[in-house]
Structure 1
Amino acid sequence: MTQSSKQTPLPPGYRLAEYTIVRQLSVGGFSIVYLALDDDDRKFAIKEYLPRNLAARHPNGEVTVPLELDRDAFNLGLKCFFEEGRVLSAIAHPTVVRVSNFFRANHTVYMVMEYAEGRSLARELELVGGQMQERQVRKWFAALLSGLREVHSQRLLHLDIKPANIYLRRNGVPLLLDFGAARQTLSRTDKHFAAMYTPGFAAPEQYDKDQPLGPWTDIYAIGACLYVCMGGDVPPGAKARLAGDTLVPAAKAFRHQYSRELTELCDRCLALRSDDRPTTVLEVQKSLQQEVYSDPLRETAGEGNRLVGWIKGLTGGRHGKGTE
């Protein structure tokens, strides 16, 4: 096992171009993210391409590929990572993480992104007890999808949308982080990366390299996020659902807490067949932006009234007094 299995981070104080590393923020199978300061003491998040199964850290900070057989896979991921940074740097949208710079150093690539103050949607869910108000769900996801539409218009997919990758700024504006398009490219071409997706949020086609990926793939993940925000557990992995679907539909699980329109939208997004999902992110966004939608409490009361009427019919209107 190489040193890369530990993904040794750059140390605090390390100079990287015009930036100084402060500390590590996060690490994944594909990269390390650091908090850094530029020469004017402005904060940035810097993502370093460092796939743990392919690369190792040399003591001088440089990234090496110990096995020559892994060189092509490493270079492919590097190319995709660089292209992702190039596309994101051209997108200026308040709900998409802004890439201000990307450069080569240490025989790898670095992506310099805005550093936002706030917390993840996953943490927000913990703080509110695992269930969010419908009004807030609609507001945040409609805003988020506006940015995702911009991403899709640039022919880039996210491919790893989940509550941990949705950040809530202190001003309440959501932010889409940590794109997984380059990771997914590697997972489809190299055996080392066969599991580089998030079960429960990854669409069925992400498990099958013969199936095309597209906006519908991100839409599945949005559906999973909506399901979790309404109080549900993370859906079973798509492979398990294909073998025998045990997911309780949102329209059934949450019909007493959320509108019929929202729960049915969630179920459509989570359809196993991509053709059964909404066609575009715009379609999902418009549904979330509806200002008039059904009241689950009123519908529940209606169900109760129908039940009372049914019981009265059985008892001949005697209100449970029995026959004479």
Structure 2
Amino acid sequence: MTYTHDQTLPKGTHIGVYEIQDTKETTVFDITYRAWNHHLKEQVEILEYFPQKLALRASGSQVVECKNPSNKEDYDLGLRAFLDQGNVLTHVEHPNIAASENILEHNGTAYLITHRNEGKPLSRILEPSTIFEEAEIKFILISILNALKELHGYNFIHEGIQPESIFLKKDGEPILTGFSSARWILARRLGEDTSTLITVYSPSEQYESTTEVKPATDFYSLGATLYQCITHKEPVSAQNRLNAIKRGESDPLISLSELSGMTLSPSITKVVDWMLKLPCSDRPQSVEELMALIDNVTGKDQAQSNITGAEVVDDFGKHKITKNPLGLAIGASIAAFIMIGLWFGEKKSDLVDVNKGADLVEISEPILSSEHHIKDLVEDPLSKTSSENVSALPDIPLVREDHKVEHSTVESELKGNQHSTMADLSVNTSAQMIVEEPIDKNVIKMHLDAAEKAMRASRFTTPAKDNAFKHYQMVLAIDAHNDIAQAGLRRIVDRYIQFIAKARLEGRLEDAQLYLERAGSVLPNDARLEKIRLDLETTAH
């Protein structure tokens, strides 16, 4: 819901390297602006912490203050929750989570910087004439579950999943947006405003301010969203369901398993019905539990069927391929899989560029606790690409230990997946091996597009299955002199050098060393990296 606001920042306002272009949306908790990143030359969106009941901005000033001293503690609690949320999202690295590049604490408030994507929210696809095929429902389900697994690993609960917060990019890839954790923390503290956050997709525990939210909270909301995709009807709210049961009536929400004419397989209906259980304790408590059920039921279905691989491919492509970008992505992705024998990442549309049938809509939603709070940033003293006007640089998501990728790991993966002419990751060797082979421009374009997508999502060298470094290497293995891929490797190193400078200024030497190692795996002979390595060794001693 959008609210009228007379204290938004005007067009042309600069926040570091970001210039505000206009206001996209205001809520009682925050303001969203469209903006331009002058350093990276790209469109972004900025979410500003600005709780209307607590905050005040003087005319002509960017500084935000608390209206009343008696509310300062509440204001600060909300600000800390906003920063905590932003710190998680700038560290998360996942293709199904809206990419956030920076969180800045400045002017008495905080700003969350996110990438702007082309596509449209699921809510705009939910029309009476829209029919989702089972493959599309399962695609959305598994994509969002993978995103939730990553978030829940940080003890972060979304708390606001609904059709509006699942965004379908132009290539059909679903991404999770609309993170509401910080808003809920402030609303519970104030003891009001929860009505602006409650929806028909909210579980029963969100109606009680004293009840703890858990991963199962997100599962209910996801289940309710999928229920509407399947039935074309809004689900009965949890509150109305509870009231009916208290009156001795039956649950007004008819489960998918009981709906007549339901053609979906048990792998979908059982999972959705489980997620929609009213008591939180009766729902799945982890993504692993849900995936186990999906795998178990799917396995039984497959054992009872005699569907050939070709028929499965036809099923993915049937009917919806011509109706929405999600269908296009699924069908095109499977076609690409068959043609070139490559499958990067767990999502089938990561490498597909679909430009038909999608509206152009920008997104930027905010995105708990991180040990590092990112302050206003300064110019990178180590990179020649820095400019005097740079006052804010994006940080790279730090991955946990199980996500770290050594060069040898990437190399072994490529050896296992690529044509024999690409078996060696050495660019020179690969170039020699394929010198007589014709250059496949389509494959090169696919990898360059995938690399650019990974760059915008800050997936520079991780995760192992889908990162910019890997895709640029694929291109150079086919065309060793490809200028775009070579420039791409330099871009990766430039970004790491910026992150190293920032980490050193904040005293995060371990992080700086990690960034240096990653940069070195991309361009081992870059002279700038050797200088930085010596500087870090000197600092350590």
Bin for the TM-score computed over the shorter chain: 0.7 to 0.9
- Per the normalisation by structure 2, the TM-score is 0.51
Which residue in the other structure is 1:204 paired with?
204
- 1:35, 1:45 within 8 Å by CA — same for their partners in 2? yes
**Corresponding residue number in structure 2 for 1:20:** 19
Map Cα deviations across residues 74-97 of structure 1 (whole Å, 9 max, x no partner).
111100000111111111101111
Which of 252, 256, 260 is matched with 1:250 structurally? 256
1:167 aligned residue: 167
In the alignment, does 2:118 pair up with 1:117?
Answer: yes
Give the drift of 1:217: 0.5
Match of 1:58 in 2: 58
Match of 1:302 in 2: none
Report Cα offsets for 1:128-158 as digits up to 9, x if no partner: 7344111101012201211110000011110
Deviation at 1:61, TM superposition (A): 3.0
Question: Which sections of structure 2, spanning at least 5 residues, go unmatched?
Answer: 245-250, 306-541
Distance 2:44 2:288 in 1: 31
Which residue of structure 2 lines up, in the alignment, with residue 265 of structure 1?
271
More helix by share: 2
Q: Contact 1:7/1:57 (CA < 8 Å) preserved in 2?
A: no
Q: Report the Cα distance in structure 1 between the residues aligned to 2:288 and 2:121, rounded to whole angstroms.
A: 24
Letter in 1 for 2:226: L
CA contact (8 A) 1:139 1:288 kept: no
Q: Secondary structure of 1:195's match?
A: helix
- Find the counterpart in structure 1 of residue 108 from structure 2: 107
Matched position secondary structure for 1:171? coil
Shift of 1:232: 3.6
Instruction: Please list the CA deviations of residues 220-249 of structure 1 after superposition, one character each: whole Å capped at 9, or x if unmatched.
Output: 101101101103422232222111142222
Structure-to-structure mapping, 1:1-324, within 5 angstroms: 6=5, 8-40=7-39, 41-59=41-59, 60-126=61-127, 129-244=129-244, 245-253=251-259, 255-288=261-294, 291=298
Give, in angstroms, the shift of residue 285 of structure 1.
Answer: 3.7
Conservation of the 8 A alpha-carbon contact between 2:21 and 2:36: yes
User: How has the CA–CA distance of structure 1 residues 54 and 237 changed in structure 2, closer, same or farther, with 3 Å as cutoff?
Assistant: farther
Q: Contact 2:140–2:174 at 8 Å: present in 1 too?
A: yes
The one-letter code sitting in structure 2 at the alignment partner of 1:56 is L
Query: Structure 2: how far apart are the matches of 1:5 and 1:71?
Result: 23
Instruction: Quote how far apart the aligned CAs of 1:282 are.
Output: 2.5
Which residue in the other structure is 1:303 paired with? Answer: none
Q: Which amino acid aligns with 1:85?
A: G
Between the two proteins, the alignment pairs up a number of residues equal to 292
1:36-89 Cα deviation digits (max 9, x unpaired): 111142111111111122223321233222222322111111000001111111
Against the structure 1 CA distance between its residues 57 and 133, is the aligned structure 2 distance closer, same or farther, given a 3 Å change threshold? farther
Q: Percent identity?
A: 28
Q: Is the contact made by 2:4 and 2:26 (CA closer than 8 Å) also made in structure 1? A: no
Q: CA deviation at 1:261?
A: 3.3
Check 1:254–1:270 CA distance in 2 against 1; reply closer, same or farther (3 A cut). Answer: farther
Partners in 1 of 2:238 and 2:23 — Cα distance?
32
Q: Which amino acid aligns with 1:6?
A: H
Unpaired runs of 5+ residues, structure 1, are 299-324
Check conservation: 2:5, 2:26, Cα contact below 8 A: no
In structure 2, the residue matched to 1:309 is none
Secondary structure, counterpart of 2:48 in structure 1 = strand
Change beyond 3 A, Cα 1:288–1:117 = farther
Distance of 2:47 and 2:20 partners within structure 1:
11
Question: What letter matches 1:87 in structure 2?
Answer: V
Q: After TM superposition, give the deviation of residue 6 of structure 1 in Å.
A: 2.4
Amino acid corresponding to residue 106 of structure 2 in structure 1: A
CA contact (8 A) 1:46 1:112 kept: yes
The letter for the 2-side match of 1:164 is E
Q: Distance in 1 between matches of 2:196 and 2:77?
A: 15
45 and 287 in structure 1: CA distance in 2 versus 1, 3 angstrom threshold: farther
2:511 equivalent in structure 1: none
SS in 2 for 1:12: coil
The secondary structure found in structure 2 opposite 1:125 is coil
Tell me the distance in 2 between the aligned counterparts of 1:30 and 1:257: 42
Report how far residue 207 of structure 1 moved: 1.3
Measure, in 1, the Cα distance between the counterparts of 2:7 and 2:129: 35
Q: CA 1:278–1:68 in 2, change beyond 3 Å: closer, same or farther?
A: same
Alpha-carbon offset, residue 107 of structure 1: 1.3
Distance 2:121 2:220 in 1: 20
Choose between structure 1 and 2: higher strand proportion. 1
- CA shift digits 1:241-294 (9 cap, x unpaired): 111142222222364232233222212111111121112123324545665676
CA contact (8 A) 1:259 1:293 kept: no
Please give the secondary structure, in 2, of the residue aligned with 1:84: helix
Tell whether the 8 Å contact from 1:130 to 1:231 is kept in structure 2 after alignment: no
